[in-house]
Structure 1
Amino acid sequence: MNYLSVENISKSFGERTLFENISFGINKDQKIAFIAKNGSGKTCIMKIINGEDEPDTGQVVVRKDIKMAFLSQDHNLQDELTIEESIFASDNEILKVIEQYEKALEHPEDEEAYQKAFDNMDRHNAWDFETQFKQILFKLKLEDFKLKVKNLSGGQKKRLSLAIILINRPDLLILDEPTNHLDLEMIEWLESYFAKENITLFMVTHDRFFLERVCNEIIELDNGKLYQYKGNYSYYLEKKEERIASENATIDKAQNLFVKELAWMRRQPKARTTKSKSRQDDFYKIKEVAESRRKENVVELEINMERMGSKIIELHKISKKFGDKVILNDFTFDFQRGARIGIIGKNGTGKSTFLNLLTGTIPADSGKVVVGDTIKIGYYTQSGINPKPGQRVIDIIKEYGEYIPLAKGRIISASQLLERFLFDAKKQYDYVEKLSGGELKRLYLCTVLIQNPNFLILDEPTNDLDIVTLNVLESFLLDYPGCLLVVSHDRYFMDKIVDHLFVFRGQGEIENFPGNYSDFRAYEDSIEPVKEEPKEKVNWKQNNTASSGLSFNEQKEFQKIEREIKDLEFKKKEIEQLFSDGKVADADIEKKANELQNVIKKIEEKEERWFELSAKMEE
């Protein structure tokens, strides 16, 4: 079943044409990734599909009964709403039923309202839906339902937008970089969720593990043409290589034929009317193919790395905490030549803080950082470039000099350097604020590397970079002779370039692991004990009470108690998780502890009544 058709759309901005006559379709159950270089119009195409922008030519046809949702880079949440209110602020009928039930739970004294809400939950089969949406919020670390949107971080807002979309279960889901702002645990959960769910996806992502494990089709926009591959990322790489080899062979043949036909054309008198018109037409077609060799514009990275002495960087009993949150606790480490270390861990465990301590951006509470005399640090931060108003691309590079030194005593002009980073002569005079997210990252990377560091620190370098630039960056880093320290959620990237990990566990616990990310996952999986089914005191699965010794009202009460216990158990787990993660403020500890005790007491009371009815049922 066709959900959506893109028919011959084109888009230009001034003299710059992003794409022309693009056509493709999205059918039920397809999980499609859209791949293109930065600046080629990926986000623009997604906005056109979602109706936020209009194409210059062509149209997008959407099936009338299709429910579609779009996760963009910019959230459209209301600042004054809480997380809970944001979730319920939709047209989803079942969510409205759950909202009424949640409100009734807050006022148990109103038994009539509670019974009505409870019956409504039964009528709409909303219990499983409620469990699923609470699990989604739990997995995306959005446990505090009462937090207002205006008080959320950028990452939390992105996760809330994602949660709302997943909860509403649209027929077609359009995603722009869904893994941004998610930690590795969340990414792997989302990956698993999409892989097993019967959901139709169209997404832009640079996460190649995600592409490999979720997508069953890849559409690539390459040099203005669209190519479709019926498979995952590995299949795409294999078939793209075959396609390029075939195209180059065709071009080589055309070039040989072009030389012969050109000689024939030159031999013919201009005034001769008997010249074959069809052969002339063929000549121009051959010429077009012969001159169409792919422009393999790749970022050329080359630096004149500073000489490195025997002392690199030493950390001596470094400690740092913010309030009760411990980031480092007497951490000691001696970096060696050629170190290639990746840093992984959940959001909020202090990864970026560690980098700032290492570079002296923030002071340690105790201990000391000793940096060798010959060490020159290049620090690529998440904040990126902060251009002055009206500053152009070339102005950013000229701040480091009109000419930049390269390896082996060579020099290069600022303009030539920018060309190596895929900024052509025209683009170099664009205002920096007009650049796309990926172009800004590429320019920032250029400014870090031209300072010729021998100790390179990269904090989430892969965000917003297209796959082409990522592959080139990886190739450069594989050959980089200095020390490398990387924070990244990109598992594919980490697997290729690091051979050692710092695993931030939280509360100052940092584990040294010898290996890359896949090695770490394999190790973690091997030491996890086999999970037995929890030995619950009560089997809360729905029982068939129709033939039991219970009256009709007792049967309803029995079912109601099971639902209530399920809710209370979820609430108990939620509060315990807040304590476990250290997310309860000092002022709220007593209040939360009392709340937990009340929940436990209610569970015990409900369980006691459940046993009474259960015993009667077996009589």
Structure 2
Amino acid sequence: MNYVSAENLTKSYGIKVLFENISFHINEGDKIAIVAKNGSGKSTLLKILMGKEIADSGNVMINKDIQVVLFDQEIDFDPQLSIEEFMMTLNSPPIIALKKYHQSLLSNNPDEMEKAIAEMEIQKAWDLENEMKQILSQLKITDLDLKMGTLSGGQIKRVALAKLLTETRAQHRHTLLIMDEPTNHLDVEMVEWLENYLSKAKITLLLVTHDRYFLDSVCDIIWEMEDKNLYFHNGSYATYLENKMIREDNLNSTIDKAQNLYRKELEWMRRQPKARTTKSKSRIDAFYDTEKVAKTDTRKDSLELDFEMKRLGNKILELKDINKRFGNNVLLKDFSYSFQRGEKVGIVGKNGAGKSTLLNIIQGFEPKDSGEIETGETIKFGYFAQKGLQYKEDERVIDFIKEIGENFPLANGKTISASQFLRLFLFDDQSQYSPISKLSGGEKRRLHLMYVLYQNPNFLIFDEPTNDLDLPTLTVLENFLQNFQGSLIIVSHDRYFMDRIVDHVLAFEGEGRIRDFVGNFSEYRDANKNQEQRTKNQDAVATPIAEKEEKPTTNSQPIATKKKLSFKEQRELETIEKEIPELEEKRKKILDELNNESEYEKILKLSSELELLSGKLEEHELRWLELQEKLN
């Protein structure tokens, strides 16, 4: 089934053309990732599909039988609403039925309750509320009475994500789910849960993300936006990179041939009299076509910088018995660490565990409760913070950079100007003289990164540097950091980025405990999972012998298929498989009674029983899925 078709779309802002005459199709079941540098028009294209922007030319045809749902970077909400009230503002029929059902419970009108129950059944909405709360719980949102206006930016993004997933689940129509950087503000556990959720869900998805592991796990089609065009790649991110390299090699070969022909034709053109004949007109037209190809500039600006870094002394940075707490929340407990020259440390942990607090304490932005910090005399920090750039509203990009200095020193003794440095970060002449306030969110992040490096630090501290950076910039940033001779601390939830850069991990494991693990991020995660498995195996071994010798009461599945479960888990699975049909039968009976009942008190009682029963059934089904995953 075709969901969306677009033909010859063109979109410009002023003299800047984002894309020109692009065409594409989205079919049911497609899971597509869009890859491009910031400012290429990714978010604009998504908004055109949503009807929030209008293309300059071209047509977009959306199937009348589908619903398009967008998870955007900008989230509108009423700050006075509680989280639960915000979630219930969805307009899908099952949510509306659920709201009417809750309202009927508060009323004294049996007719209203009967209608509400009938609508709940029609919309299959009995389990929706539990599923909504389950999604919120996975995204670490548990207090649904909190006002939206009291939440942090990250919490708001997570609530909005939960609302989007609930809306997609609640839709009975075919749905195209559009997501713009959904992994921002999620910790690793949340990212892995969302990755698993989307990869298994039978949905149609159009996704913008900088997380390459997430991209590879969820999507099997990549759209590349570059040079106003749209290119299509089937397969993984690695396949896309390979295809891109082949395309660029072919283009360079075509340009080389055109340049040879151009030189010959240029001599012929110069020999022609001013009053050219009609006979040579076709050759003249061909000359201008050849000239256009021959003068195509395929040079890519990059971040290949070898700058003159201030020398690091013998002492770099030493932390001794650092303690920090907020009320009863212990973030750092007797933490000691000595940073070495050239060391690349990754810091990981759940949101709120104290990662950013440690970075602020190291730089003196926040006081410690106790302990000592010794910083080498030659250390010059470069800090890339989550809060972003601080700038004057009308300040131009070039002036902002020149405040640091007119020139940037290179290792070979030469210098480059601020303008040349900006071009390395993909800011063309027009962008350099634009106000910073006019830049996109991703372009501001790129400027912030450039601003940090332009100060020529020898100790870099990056707090979530990958958020809102495009993949081309991330790739060259990774290459730069791999060759960086100074020390480096990175807080990031981007697993691919961490795997490429860090050589060991400081893991915030809660209650002030920080584990020092030698290796990259994936190795740390594998070690954790292996430890969890060993603990489970030890628990299984420790099960009392008498309990182990008990026979299962049913043989619903061969014992051989359950070899990965402990004896307790086997018994639990068998019990659940027996109870689920019984619960479903009870639920059906209550629904039948409700449909035939007219007395208000009995309806109220049956509704309460139905809600409890639906919740228990949902718990059984979720636990059954968890146990089944262990068997697969």
Counterpart of 2:399 (choices 392, 395, 398) is 395
In structure 2, what is the equivalent of residue 614 of structure 1? none
In the TM superposition, 1:129-278 aligns within 5 A as 129-169=128-168, 171-271=175-275, 273=277, 276-278=280-282
In structure 2, what is the equivalent of residue 32 of structure 1? 32
In structure 2, what is the equivalent of residue 422 of structure 1? 426
| 1:100-128 deviation line (CA, Å, top 9, x unaligned) | 55678899x99999898777655643344
Aligned partners of 1:545 and 1:525: how far apart in 2?
Answer: 35
Which amino acid counterpart does residue 515 of structure 1 have in structure 2?
G
In structure 1, what is the equivalent of residue 483 of structure 2? 479
Q: Contact 2:331/2:511 (CA < 8 Å) preserved in 1?
A: yes
Range moving further from structure 2, 162-171 or 464-473 = 162-171
Secondary structure of the equivalent of 1:360?
coil
Counterpart of 2:580 (choices 527, 536, 541) is 541
Going from structure 1 to structure 2, the CA distance change for 1:332 and 1:394 (only over 3 Å counts) comes to same
Aligned partners of 1:114 and 1:517: how far apart in 2?
Answer: 54
Which amino acid counterpart does residue 156 of structure 2 have in structure 1?
K
Going from structure 1 to structure 2, the CA distance change for 1:304 and 1:546 (only over 3 Å counts) comes to closer
Unaligned runs of 5+ in 1: 572-619
Range moving further from structure 2, 263-272 or 495-504 = 263-272
Secondary structure of the equivalent of 2:368?
coil
Aligned partners of 1:144 and 1:280: how far apart in 2?
Answer: 73
**Deviation (angstroms), 1:152:** 1.4
Aligned length: 569
Q: Contact 2:316/2:376 (CA < 8 Å) preserved in 1?
A: yes
> Normalized against structure 2, the TM-score is what?
0.83
Aligned partners of 2:584 and 2:440: how far apart in 1?
Answer: 62
Aligned partners of 1:30 and 1:542: how far apart in 2?
Answer: 35
Higher relative contact order (CA 8 A, sep 6+): 2
In the TM superposition, 1:3-402 aligns within 5 A as 3-99=3-99, 121=120, 124-169=123-168, 171-271=175-275, 273=277, 276-402=280-406
Aligned partners of 1:115 and 1:365: how far apart in 2?
Answer: 60
Aligned partners of 1:207 and 1:476: how far apart in 2?
Answer: 18
Q: Contact 2:31/2:221 (CA < 8 Å) preserved in 1?
A: yes
Aligned partners of 2:606 and 2:13: how far apart in 1?
Answer: 65
In structure 2, what is the equivalent of residue 580 of structure 1? none
Going from structure 1 to structure 2, the CA distance change for 1:272 and 1:181 (only over 3 Å counts) comes to closer
Secondary structure of the equivalent of 2:262?
helix
Secondary structure of the equivalent of 1:426?
helix
In structure 1, what is the equivalent of residue 546 of structure 2? none
**Deviation (angstroms), 1:194:** 0.9
In structure 1, what is the equivalent of residue 416 of structure 2? 412
Aligned partners of 1:114 and 1:334: how far apart in 2?
Answer: 66
Counterpart of 1:567 (choices 615, 618, 625) is 615
Secondary structure of the equivalent of 1:528?
helix
Going from structure 1 to structure 2, the CA distance change for 1:427 and 1:307 (only over 3 Å counts) comes to same
Range moving further from structure 2, 404-413 or 175-184 = 404-413
| 1:309-367 deviation line (CA, Å, top 9, x unaligned) | 11111110000011111110010111112211111111111111111011111010010
Aligned partners of 2:56 and 2:300: how far apart in 1?
Answer: 28
**Deviation (angstroms), 1:553:** 7.2
Q: Contact 1:303/1:450 (CA < 8 Å) preserved in 2?
A: no
Q: Contact 2:348/2:506 (CA < 8 Å) preserved in 1?
A: yes
**Deviation (angstroms), 1:374:** 1.6
| 1:197-233 deviation line (CA, Å, top 9, x unaligned) | 1111112111111111111211111111111112231
**Deviation (angstroms), 1:296:** 1.2
Which amino acid counterpart does residue 273 of structure 1 have in structure 2?
T
Q: Contact 1:248/1:293 (CA < 8 Å) preserved in 2?
A: no
| 1:64-86 deviation line (CA, Å, top 9, x unaligned) | 12111111111022222211112
Secondary structure of the equivalent of 1:542?
helix
Aligned partners of 2:258 and 2:498: how far apart in 1?
Answer: 42
Going from structure 1 to structure 2, the CA distance change for 1:123 and 1:320 (only over 3 Å counts) comes to same
**Deviation (angstroms), 1:273:** 3.3
Q: Contact 1:474/1:497 (CA < 8 Å) preserved in 2?
A: yes
Work out the percentage of aligned pairs sharing the same amino acid.
49
Q: Contact 1:542/1:559 (CA < 8 Å) preserved in 2?
A: no
Going from structure 1 to structure 2, the CA distance change for 1:358 and 1:29 (only over 3 Å counts) comes to same
> Normalized against structure 1, the TM-score is what?
0.85
Aligned partners of 2:216 and 2:200: how far apart in 1?
Answer: 14
Secondary structure of the equivalent of 2:34?
strand
**Deviation (angstroms), 1:446:** 1.7
Range moving further from structure 2, 298-307 or 194-203 = 298-307
Secondary structure of the equivalent of 1:541?
helix
Range moving further from structure 2, 354-363 or 425-434 = 425-434
Q: Contact 2:199/2:217 (CA < 8 Å) preserved in 1?
A: yes
Going from structure 1 to structure 2, the CA distance change for 1:531 and 1:253 (only over 3 Å counts) comes to farther
Range moving further from structure 2, 238-247 or 186-195 = 238-247
Q: Contact 1:268/1:275 (CA < 8 Å) preserved in 2?
A: no
Q: Contact 2:458/2:486 (CA < 8 Å) preserved in 1?
A: yes
**Deviation (angstroms), 1:559:** 12
Which amino acid counterpart does residue 193 of structure 2 have in structure 1?
W
Q: Are 1:445 and 2:449 matched, yes or no? A: yes
Going from structure 1 to structure 2, the CA distance change for 1:142 and 1:106 (only over 3 Å counts) comes to farther
Range moving further from structure 2, 22-31 or 456-465 = 22-31
Range moving further from structure 2, 522-531 or 506-515 = 522-531
Aligned partners of 2:514 and 2:102: how far apart in 1?
Answer: 40
